[in-house]
Structure 1
Amino acid sequence: MSFSSMYVGATGVVAHNASMQVVANNLANVSTTGYKRADVQFGTLMSQQLGTSGSQNQSGSYAMSQIGKGVGVSEIRTIFKPGALENTDTSTDLAISGQGFFGVRNVNGATAGASNYTRAGAFRFNNEAYLVNAHDYRLQGYAIDRETGEVAAGVSDIQLPYEDVIVDGEPARLVRSEPLATSSVEMVTNLNHSAADLFTDSNNPMFSMLQAYNTTQSNASTPFGGDLPEYSSSITVYDEEGGGHEMTVYFDPVSANNLSNAVPGYSYWEYLVAMPSESDGSSAYGTSSAGLAGVGVLTFNDQGILVGQAAYSLDPTVASGGTSLGAWTPSTFSEDGLPQVTYTFGSNGGAVGQSRTISYDFGINSDNSTWLSGAGSPASVGTDVGNLAQMGEMNRDARVSTSYDSPSSTMYHIQNGYSWGYLRNVSVDDEGFLTGHFSNNQSEALYQVAMYRFNSPWGLDRSGSTNFTATQDSGAAMAGVAKDGGRGTISGNTLEGSNVDMAQEFANMILTQRGFQANTKVISTSDSMLNTLISVKR
């Protein structure tokens, strides 16, 4: 009997030693990112059947007497309770709030797709622009087509779309944002109602700036020589190769004394749209009309609100110069019902790409993209306001140009083009989209981080380095994305800490120690009993 009790005590020592090892491992990983603590489940071993007194229990069967043969470790469970989230200074530090896992691939012998799964989200870009953890395992995600914005169907290694280029004679690796040529400009101004008419022409008062335009004047800082219109506003627009060009809109009032059929109380402003003469890539380069893009007239009511716009663009079939009134026709309209100009950007006389169509918006548009009336060209307008082209089904925006009795100013302007951009930083949102932020103020989604879940995460096998591998008990990994199927959300600039509770582990340590001591006492006491029995025989 003493041998049996010694054996039982030994099983207790072995089991509690295993429990202490689990506690020690938990405490050793108290600061490990994404670590999931484990706990030990004990279970009794087989029991020995002893003799019976013959008594019966309530069911009529004989009560059996059994004696236990000790204890063993039934299971060491992983506890997947979330750890505390800790903020960091690195945007690619990722944490999961939910039941999902990151998928990482060991490139040494592993096929495509995730080979390991983890909650530890400390990732960095390596020299080859792959997003990896400390062991160079590559994070998995869904690539996003940079042209269409569509998300790929399958997962792949997350890698920045870099280009190898030569900068100052040295090879460099850059991630660039493609340029976008300007196709629309919005400019909202206030034009001083009390301003004087600075450019006049008795025969064509509404196009006097066009008549005065001349870029070949020597020592002239503007296309109008030493004179300037009442007001001008400039904005940088871009060609298809990312080159910037300063587009300027010149405004000058038209004296009502020089007009016929003018509405009492209304005011009229002529405007002219021009680029720098050196940016002209058409045959007008080097001529007096280089840089001309559009002309027109704005009409304001007696409250200073914009109520009409006539817009004209160059007729490419007219051979005469751009300063000729007969070379202009009513502008075409964009899809939004805005007048537009067609312009060929250039550099040193050579065209940059194809001719570009740019719409411009002062606050009104035509809902049906038509001109109701007006002369075919400015040459037929003369002094008669009624001959100006008039928009059909005019619509006024919330932001609209005005002509109040206050200094002329630009209240708002914007255009939709941009130049080349270079990657400055990245961010990851709660849906796992990895977005690149570029020097041209553009942002572009590059990948969506993949997330995985399992039918039974408790069946996962620890493979080291805070990674898990799938087993038959866990079921196959099911790939998806954040906010789908209970996988949870992702936080950038954040890491999930270990879920080890030190107070609980110290309590477990004390209980384990006492259990271990008690079982060693069983062994020593059984040994003493055995020695007593042997001495009796002697």
Structure 2
Amino acid sequence: MGILSSFNIGVSGLNAAGSSMSVIGDNIANAGTFGFKGSRAEFQDMLSKSLKGIDGGDQIGSGVKLAHVTPKFNQGNIQRTENITDLAINGNGFFSVEAPGGRGFTRDGSFHFDKDGHLINGDGYKVLGFQANDAGEISQKMGAIKLGNTTIPATATSEVNVSMNLDSREKVKQFNPQDPANTSNFNTSFAVYDNVGSQRLVTVYFNKTNDGSWDYHAMVDGKDAAGGTPGTMVEMGRGKLNFNNKGELQEEITELNSFNFNNGAAPGQQINFNFGESIAEGGNGKDASTQYGSDSSVARHTQDGASAATLASLSFNDKGILTASYDNGDQRDIAQIAVAKFENNEGLFKMGKNLFKETRKSGQGAMGKPGDDGRGEVLAKSIELSNVDIADEFINLMGAQRNFQANTKTITTSDQMLQEVLNIKR
């Protein structure tokens, strides 16, 4: 060890300072990159010689070397946007995309849909998640997220659910289908749909036949009935409702169920009227329709039909579920974003393009749903900014510059000392 070795030590210091400058410069350059994770250069000293062997304490180093460039995975600030496909993970985890050569993982959630309906990132890589089936149920199978058809076909009504009360104080009436309004105790109307998606109005007339017994008649104006006369009601459904002495629904009986609409609708459409689970069906009678001594009224009703519809809008929730809203008021879940988590984020390998690749040090990415098992939630209309702190990087930059200047001084001083040695010979 001597003067010549000090040159090498100084050069190692220059190289280290240069590496540090490169890392800092890369951080600063990507301060505006969505989802970017800054890095830190870490160095180690190099031992050249121990003057007193293994038991001695007099050791001379031979400079410094770059040991690691470690990414920093602290959360970046989250900024709200107006783009429905901008997503941010608040917490641990990564989005996953189909990249060339395998899966890539990213915190950059600036996504959009391509012409084929795939959710993709800025480089066209497909975003992975869990696709829903036709019923809107999210599956457990991983795949590329894709919009299905932007239109949904009509659904014929097959069931009308009704929760209501029929007034026990009403008198018995003899029903006349030619004059239903004046020969019934109560009536209410429901909109239903035929198989081609046309909305039809069904009016249900209720007439008391005995204490605790009622008939219902589901009728349609002749203008909507096959072979009907406008203004004349046509009966297409009929049944009985029987109540016990507590006013609870004992049983319901269907006697007629065949709806024949006109204008191209399929004949014999079955529409079941469900007034709640009767005691005869195993219910308790309290959660079904009732016959109490109060005015007849409908508390609520639903039906399962719908007209054909076109996609109107899309939205994500904090579980990463993509929901489609249609112009007929229907909503359907399409897919759910997948979030990957790793045992060791710092073991991930930077691929460029805001992507990371899993390694043996990181462990395999465990794919799951947002918010599950330590994964962060997904924020819609939001984007995660770079986690680079410009002020800190400028301070680090000045430190690297000082280190570089100091090491150049080591080299110039060593050169001066070597010149003095050479001058001795002259």
Length-normalised TM-score, structure 1: 0.68
Gaps of 5+ in 2: none
Partner of residue 393, structure 2: 505
What is the Cα deviation at residue 243 of structure 1? 2.3
Match of 1:134 in 2: 122
Q: Distance in 2 between matches of 1:352 and 1:137?
A: 45
**Match for 2:390: what amino acid?**
M
* Partner amino acid, structure 1, of 2:173: M
Which residue number in structure 2 is paired with residue 368 of structure 1? 280
Q: How does 1:406-425 map to 2 (within 5 A)?
A: 412-425=300-313
Which residue of the partner structure matches residue 188 of structure 1?
164
Matched, 1:530 2:410: no
Corresponding residue of 1:5: 6
- Structure 1 or 2, whichever has the larger Rg, is 1
In the alignment, which of 173, 176, 179 is matched to residue 209 of structure 1? 176
8 Å contact 1:23–1:509 — kept in the other structure? yes
Within 5 A, what are the aligned runs for 1:13-412? Answer: 13-50=14-51, 52=52, 63=56, 65-106=58-99, 110=100, 114-147=102-135, 149=137, 151-153=139-141, 155-162=142-149, 174-176=150-152, 179-186=155-162, 188=164, 206-210=173-177, 212-213=178-179, 232-250=187-205, 272-281=217-226, 285=228, 290-294=234-238, 331-332=253-254, 341-348=256-263, 351-352=265-266, 354-361=268-275, 366-369=278-281, 395-397=285-287, 400=290, 404=294, 412=300
Relative to 1, partners in 2 of residues 1:150 and 1:409: Cα closer, same or farther, differing over 3 Å?
A: closer
Distance 1:536 1:353, change over 3 A: farther
Indicate conservation of the 8 Å contact 1:245/1:276, yes or no: no
Aligned-residue offset at 1:474: 3.2
Shift of 1:299: 8.7
Q: For 1:442-457, list aligned pairs within 5 A.
A: 442-457=330-345
Aligned partner letter, 1:357: I
Q: How many residues align?
A: 424
1:429 partner amino acid:
N
Partner letter of residue 11 of structure 2? A
Name the SS for the 1:294 alignment partner.
Answer: strand
Alpha-carbon offset, residue 279 of structure 1: 2.9
The gaps in structure 1 that reach 5 residues or longer are 163-173, 198-204, 214-222, 255-261, 312-330, 333-339, 370-391
Query: Is structure 2 residue 351 aligned with structure 1 residue 469?
Result: no
SS of equivalent residue, structure 2 residue 31: coil
Question: Which amino acid counterpart does residue 235 of structure 1 have in structure 2?
Answer: F
The whole-number CA distance in structure 1 between the counterparts of 2:313 and 2:352 is 31
The answer to whether the 8 Å contact 1:160/1:175 transfers is no
Aligned with 1:115: secondary structure?
strand
Residue equivalent to 1:495: 383
CA shift for structure 1 position 309: 9.2
CA distance 1:525–1:310, shift in 2 (3 Å): closer
Q: Percent identity over the alignment? A: 29
1:10 partner SS? helix
TM, length-normalised to structure 2: 0.83
Residue in structure 2 matched with residue 427 of structure 1 by the alignment: 315
Q: Once the 2 structures are TM-superposed, how far is the Cα of residue 16 of structure 1 from its aligned partner?
A: 0.9
Supply the RMSD in Å over aligned alpha carbons.
Answer: 3.7
SS at match of 2:83: coil
